[in-house]
Structure 1
Amino acid sequence: MSANAGIASNPYLSHELPPATWNQMIDINLTGVWNTTRVAVPHILAGGRGGSVVLTSSAAGLKGYAHISHYTAAKHGVVGLMRSLASELAPSSIRVNSLHPTQVDTPMIQNEGTYRIFSPDHPNPGRAEFEVASTATNKLPHPVGRGGRRQQRPAVPRLRRGRYITGATLPIDAGTTL
C-alpha cells in the first residue's frame, strides 16, 4: 500500500504564515497520508500475511527549508507517522517505510509560488529560472522533469520486497539532502 498526498503553496516566512494556509498544508500533506493508512491498514492486518506500507514524504521531510515551514513540518510529520506505524505494525510482519524525492516535474511545483521560492531575487521567475535554481540544490546533475518520477517508481517495489527493511527513510533526491 502506498500513501502519497501533497500540495504546495506560496512562500512565507514562518512567523507570517496565515493560520489557514498552515492548517490546509498539514490537513492535506500529513492528515491525508494518515487517513490513507487509517483506512488501508485494517485490511492489511485482516489478510494475516504481513505486507508493506510506503509513505511518500519529500526531501523536505529530512531537512529544513526556508519559506516553506508548513510544508517541511508536514513532511517531517510523515516521517514520524511512518516510524510510529513501523513500530506498531512490525509484530504483524507489516513493514512501513518512507520515500523522500527531490523536486519532481508535476503541477505541484510548476507554479509561480514555487518559482519564487527558488528564485526570490528574480522579478518574474518562470520555469527556466526555477530549473536552474532547483538543479543547483542537487549534488547530482538532475534537471527537474528529466527522470524524477521514473527514478521513484522502482523504489516502491524494492521497499515492498525488502523483508527486513522497516522504519527506513529512502532519499531519492540526487543528493540534495547531503
Structure 2
Amino acid sequence: MTSLDGKVAIITGGARGQGRAHALTLAAAGARIVVCDVAAPIKNVQYALATPGDLEETIQLVKEAGGEIAGMQADVRSSADMKAVADLAVSQFGRIDILLANAGIHDHCESTIEIEDDAWQTMLDVNLTGAWKACKAVVPVMIEGGRGGSIVITSSVDGLGASPSWGHYGAAKHGLQGLKDTLAFELADHNIRVNTVNPTGVNSPMAEGLSKVLPHVVRKWKHNDRTNLLDVMMLEPQDISDAVLWLVSDGAKYVTGIDLPIDAGYLTKH
C-alpha cells in the first residue's frame, strides 16, 4: 500500500533535515523526486541555512540509493522559482503526483508584540506564503494530468496551539491549517488530497542551529512546558517521513483535510 512506483514528487526545503529524509523515503518507495531549496542565507534568519553543497548531497544520496532525482536552487517566496521547479518536474519526468510543501524557517522572540516588522514578514513569507506559492505552481499541473494527487504541507504542533516565544512562527503555521482546509475543499473534485503533518520538535539542522544562537525558550512564560507526553525530547526526521509516506500513498487514498500530529503526545498534554 506504500508503493509509489510511477509517481513524481516535488519536495521544497529538501537540502537537509526533514526534506532530505522525505526525498530518501519516497524514492525508496519508487517515486521519482524533484527537490529544491533556497540553499542560501535569508535576511532575519539567525542560524545557518542549507547550502548548495547540502542540496547536492541530497541528490547524490538519492542516486546512490538507486533513486531518480532532479534538483535546483529555488526560493519558495518566488512564484517564478516555484514555476521553474514545476517545469523541471514535467520536463524531467512528465508529471507531478505529490507535493511536499516542506520549506520553512524558525525563530525565537521575547514576546509577539516585540517582533521586528521585517522578522514577522520574513516568517510569513517563507512559512505561509511560500507553501501557497508552491501549491499555486504545482496544482495546475496535477489538474491537467487528470490522475489526482497528494499535497502534504509541513505545519507544526504550533499550528494547532499556542506558541509562546515564537508567535510569528505560530501565526504562520496556523495559517497553513487554513490553507490546507481550503485547498482540500477546492481540490476534492480533482481527487487531489491535501493534508498537514504537525510535528513536535525534530532533531534537524534547523533545531541545532537555533540552539546555538538563541536560548531554547527566551522567556519562561508561566505554564510554558515544551516537553512531550512520551519520554522523548525530539523526534528524528525519519519519524515524520514515515507519516508522510503513508499520507501520499494509496493507503490514505480517502484521507484529506486532516492535520496529522506526530507529536509524542505533546498536544494531548497541552
TM-score by length of 2: 0.57
- Sort the Cα spacing of 1:43 and 1:36 in 2 relative to 1 into closer, same or farther, 3 A: same
Partners of 1:80 and 1:119 lie apart in 2 by 28
Aligned to 2:206: 108
Runs (5+) with no aligned partner, structure 2? 1-98
Partners of 2:213 and 2:175 lie apart in 1 by 21
Q: Does 1:156 align with 2:244?
A: yes
Partners of 1:112 and 1:99 lie apart in 2 by 23
> C-alpha deviations, 1:49-81, integer Å up to 9, x for none?
111111110111111111211000000111110
Question: Share of identical aligned residues, percent?
Answer: 40
Deviation at 1:2, TM superposition (A): 0.9
Deviation at 1:173, TM superposition (A): 0.7
Q: Does 1:141 align with 2:234?
A: no
Q: Does 1:53 align with 2:141?
A: no
Given the alignment, which residue of 6, 12, 19 partners 2:117? 19
Q: How many residues are paired up?
A: 164
Deviation at 1:155, TM superposition (A): 1.0
CA RMSD of aligned residues (A): 2.0
Moved more, 150-159 or 69-78: 150-159
Partners of 1:55 and 1:2 lie apart in 2 by 6
1:152 maps to a residue whose letter is I
TM-score by length of 1: 0.85
Given the alignment, which residue of 190, 206, 217 partners 1:118? 217
Aligned to 2:164: 66
1:5-44 map, 5 Å? 5-44=103-142
Partners of 1:26 and 1:140 lie apart in 2 by 31
> C-alpha deviations, 1:93-149, integer Å up to 9, x for none?
11100000111112222224785243746xxxxxxxxxxx98x610011132xx421
- Sort the Cα spacing of 1:104 and 1:114 in 2 relative to 1 into closer, same or farther, 3 A: farther
2:186 maps to a residue whose letter is E
SS at match of 1:73: helix
Given the alignment, which residue of 182, 186, 198 partners 1:88? 186
Given that residues 108 and 218 in structure 2 are in contact (C-alpha distance below 8 angstroms), is that contact kept between their aligned partners in structure 1? Answer: no
SS at match of 1:153: helix
Moved more, 106-115 or 43-52: 106-115
Partners of 1:94 and 1:68 lie apart in 2 by 32
> C-alpha deviations, 1:21-64, integer Å up to 9, x for none?
10000001111111111111111111101111111101111111
Given that residues 204 and 236 in structure 2 are in contact (C-alpha distance below 8 angstroms), is that contact kept between their aligned partners in structure 1? Answer: no
Given that residues 95 and 166 in structure 1 are in contact (C-alpha distance below 8 angstroms), is that contact kept between their aligned partners in structure 2? Answer: yes
- Sort the Cα spacing of 1:56 and 1:114 in 2 relative to 1 into closer, same or farther, 3 A: farther
Partners of 1:72 and 1:113 lie apart in 2 by 21
Partners of 1:139 and 1:114 lie apart in 2 by 27
Given that residues 86 and 167 in structure 1 are in contact (C-alpha distance below 8 angstroms), is that contact kept between their aligned partners in structure 2? Answer: yes
Deviation at 1:157, TM superposition (A): 2.1
